[in-house]
Amino acid sequence: MIDAVHVVWITAGLGCDGDTIAMTAASLPSIEELVAGALPGVPRVILHNPVLAYENGDAFMQSMRDAAAGRLDPFILVVEGSVPNEKNKAEGYWAALGIDAATGQPIPTCEWIDRLAPRAHAVIAAGTCATYGGVHAMLGNPTGCMGVPDYLGWSFRSTAGVPIVCVPGCPVQPDNFTETLSYLLQQLAGSAPMIPLDEALRPRWLFTQTVHEGCDRGGYYEQADFAGEYATLKCIVKLGCWGPVVQCNVGKRGWMAGIGGCPNVGGVCIGCTMPGFPDKFMSFMDEPPGARMSTAAVLTYGRTVRALRQFTVDSMNREPDWRRPPGDAR
Amino acid sequence: MSGKKLVEMTWDPVTRVIGSLGIHTRIDFDNREVAECRATSSIFRGYSVFMKGKDPRDAHFITSRICGICGDNHATCGVYAQNMAFGVKPPALAEWIINCAEAAEYMFDHNLFQDNLVGVDFCERMVRETNPSLLTKAESTSAPHADVHGYRTIAGIMRALNPFEGALYNEALRMSRVAREMFCLMEGRHAHPSTLYPGGVGTVPSVQLFSEYFVRLSRYVDFVKRMVPLHDDLFDFFLEALPGYERVGQRRVLLGCWGAFQDPDACDFRYQTMSQWGREMFVTPGIVIDGELITTDLVEINLGIRILLGSSFYDDWEGQETFVRTDPLGNPIDRRHPWNQTTLPRPQKRDLQGRYTWVMSPRWLDRRSGAHLALDSGGGPLARLWVTALAGKVDFPGVKATGRGVKIRLPRTARLAEMELEWKIPRWSNTLERDRARSYFQAYAAAAALHFIDRGRKLVHGGDTQTWSDFKVPDEAIGCGFHEAVRGLLSHHMVIRNGRIANYHPYPPTPWNASPRDSFGTPGPYEDAIQGSPLFEENGPESFKGIDIMRTVRSFDPCLPCGVHMMLGGGKVLELRHSPAFGAQVGGPP
Is there a domain that residue A181 lies in?
Answer: yes
User: Closest residue of A to B48, CA-based?
Assistant: A141
Would you tell me which residues 145-174 of chain B have a C-beta closer than 8 angstroms to some C-beta of chain A?
163-164, 170, 173
Taking only residues 46 to 65 of chain B, the set having a beta carbon closer than 8 angstroms to any beta carbon of chain A reads 46, 49-50, 52-55, 57-58, 61-62, 65
* Contact with chain A for residue B500, Cβ under 8 A: no
**A22 part of a folded domain:** yes
Measured between CB atoms, does B468 come within 8 Å of chain A? yes
| Cβ-defined contact of A143 to B45 (cutoff 8 Å) | yes
CB contact under 8 A, B468 and A231: yes
Residue at B583 is within a domain: no
Q: Is residue A152 a part of any domain in this protein?
A: yes
Range B3-30 average pLDDT = 91
- pLDDT at site B43: 84
pLDDT of B564: 34
Q: Residue B359 — pLDDT band, cuts 50, 70, 90?
A: confident
Residues of chain A contacting residue B59, judged by C-beta atoms under 8 Å apart: none
* Domain end call among A148, A175, A205: A205
DSSP secondary structure letters along B155-170: HHHHHHTSTTTSHHHH
Whether residue B407 lies inside any domain: the answer is yes
Query: CA nearest B543 in A: which residue?
Result: A59
Question: Could you tell me the pLDDT band of residue B580, with boundaries at 50, 70 and 90?
Answer: very low
Name residues 113-132 of chain B within 8 A of A (Cβ): 116-117, 120, 125-126
Question: Residue B582: is its pLDDT beyond 70?
Answer: no
Q: How confident is the model at residue B357 (pLDDT cuts 50, 70, 90)?
A: confident
CATH classification at residue B88: 1.10.645.10
Picking from A57, A142, A265, the nearest residue to B345 by CB comes out as: A142
* Shared-domain flag, residues A168 and A191: yes
Query: Given A144, A170, A205, which residue is the final one in a domain?
Result: A205
**A186 and A258 housed in the same domain:** no
| Residue environment code for B489-512, b if the CB has 16+ CB neighbours within 10 A, otherwise e | bbbbbbbbeeeebbbbbbbbbbbb
**Does pTM top 0.80 for this prediction?**
yes
B571 pLDDT band, cuts 50/70/90, is very low
Low-confidence ranges of chain A (pLDDT < 50): none
Residues of B in contact with A51 (CB under 8 A): 15-18, 117
Under 8 Å between Cβ of B340 and B309: no
**CB within 8 Å: B54 and A259:** no
Residue A322 lies in a domain: no
Whether residue A180 sits in one domain with residue A260: no
B576 has pLDDT over 50: no
User: B396: helix, coil or strand?
Assistant: strand
Interface subset of B 563-582, CB within 8 angstroms of A: 565-569
Same domain for A222 and A195: no
Could A285 and B55 be called an inter-chain contact, meaning their C-beta atoms sit closer than 8 Å? Answer: yes
The CATH number for A148's domain is: 3.40.50.700
Q: Which residue of B9, B40, B43, B469 to mutate against A (max A Cβ within 10 Å)?
A: B43
Q: For residue A323, how many other CB atoms are within 10 A of its CB?
A: 8
The verdict on residue A71 lying in a domain is yes
Examine residue B49 and state whether it is found in any structural domain, yes or no: yes
Residue A325, min C-alpha distance to chain B (Å): 34
Peptide bond into A168 cis (omega under 30): no
What CA–CA distance (Å, rounded) separates A171 from A21? 9
In this structure, the strands spanning A106-108 and A75-80 are unpaired
Q: What is the pLDDT of residues B384-398, one digit of tens each?
A: 999 999 999 999 999
A104 and A193 together in one domain: yes
Q: What is the pLDDT of residue B570?
A: 40
Contact yes or no for B348 and A92 at CB 8 A: yes
For residue A136, list chain B residues with Cβ-Cβ distance below 8 A: 45-46, 50, 65
Residue numbers in B near A89 (CB within 8 A):
347
Contacts of A285 in chain B (CB under 8 A): 55, 57-58, 197
pLDDT of residue B3: 63
B346-366 average pLDDT score: 92
B542 occurs within a structural domain: yes
Query: Which strand ranges, in their side-by-side order, compose the sheet holding B305-308?
Result: B305-308, B361-366, B371-373
Which pLDDT value is given to residue A329? 64
Contact A104 B590 (CB under 8 A): yes
- φ, ψ at A310 (rounded to 5°): -60, -40
Domain extent for B389: 2-578
Q: In chain A, what residues touch B545 (CB-CB under 8 Å)?
A: 56
Give yes or no: residues A186 and A223 share one domain: no
**Is the Cβ pair B590, A229 closer than 8 Å?**
no
What digits encode the pLDDT tens for the residues B109-145? 999 999 999 999 999 999 999 999 999 999 999 999 9
Q: Taking the CB of residue B474, how many other CB atoms lie within 10 A of it?
A: 14
Q: Which residues pair with A45 in a beta bridge?
A: A5
Residues of A within 8 A of B42 (CB-CB) are 12, 93, 95-97, 106
Beta carbons of A53 and B16 less than 8 Å apart? yes
Q: Do B11 and A58 touch (CB under 8 A)?
A: yes
Residues of chain B contacting A105 with CB distance shorter than 8 Å: 349-350
Cα–Cα distance for residue pair B2/A318, rounded to 1 Å: 95
Q: How far apart are CA B225 and CA B231, in angstroms?
A: 11
Contact A98, A64 (CB under 8 A): yes
Within-domain flag for B116: yes
Instruction: Please indicate, yes or no, whether residues A164 and A282 belong to a single structural domain of this protein.
Output: no
| CA pair distance A55, B47, nearest whole angstrom | 31
Judging contacts by C-beta atoms under 8 Å, the chain A residues touching residue B190 are 22, 25, 255-256, 260
The total number of structural domains that make up chain A: 2
Nearest-CA distance from B369 to chain A in Å?
Answer: 38
Domain final position from A205, A229, A248: A205
Counted residue by residue, chain A has a size of: 330
Among residues B1, B47, B185, which one has the least CA distance to residue B506? B47
What mean pLDDT value characterizes chain B?
93
Nearest CA in chain B to A11: B19
Task: Kindly write down the DSSP assignment for every residue of A255-281, as one continuous string.
Answer: TBTTB--SGGGT-----TTSTTTTGGG
Q: pLDDT tens for residues A178-233?
A: 999 999 999 999 999 999 999 999 999 999 999 999 999 999 999 999 999 998 99
Task: Based on the fold, state whether residues A236 and A118 are members of the same structural domain.
Answer: no
Distance CA B383, CA B374 (A): 14
Query: B-chain residues within 8 Å CB-CB of A260?
Result: 181, 184-185, 187-190, 194
Contact between B219 and B101 under an 8 Å Cβ cutoff? The reply is: no
Closest CB to B200 among A17, A230, A250: A230
Mutation for B interface: A20, A34, A56, A238, most B CBs within 10 A: A56
Same domain, yes or no: A135 and A274:
no
* CATH assignment at residue A254: 4.10.480.10
The verdict on B550 touching A (C-beta cutoff 8 Å) is yes
Number of domains in chain B: 1
pLDDT for B420 equals 98
* Residue A326 counted as domain residue: no
Mark yes or no for CB contact A231/B19 under 8 Å.
Answer: no
Give the model's pLDDT for residue B581.
31
Q: What is the DSSP letter of B116?
A: I
Give the residue-averaged pLDDT of B33-53: 92
Strand B399-401 versus strand B395-396 pairing type? antiparallel
Asked if A141 and B50 come within 8 Å (Cβ–Cβ), the reply is yes
Structural domain for A309, as ranges = 212-316
Q: Shortest CB distance from A51 goes to which of B16, B61, B184?
A: B16
Residues of B in contact with A54 (CB under 8 A): 120, 125-126, 163
Is B567 within 8 Å of A58 when comparing Cβ atoms?
yes
Which amino acid is it at B458? K
- The helix (H) or strand (E) run that includes residue B529 is helix B525-530
Output the pLDDT for position B561.
61
Alpha-carbon Rg of chain A, whole angstroms? Answer: 24
A169 and A256 share one domain: no
**A200 and A118 belong to one structural domain:** yes
Contact state of B348 with A91 under an 8 Å Cβ cutoff:
yes
Is A64 a member of any domain?
Answer: yes
Q: With an 8 Å Cβ cutoff, are A30 and B173 in contact?
A: yes
Asked if the structure places residue B588 within a domain, the reply is: no
**Alpha-helical segments (H) within B288-373:** 298-304
Gyration radius (Cα) of chain B, Å: 23
Does residue A242 share a domain with residue A158?
no
| DSSP three-state, residue B157 | helix
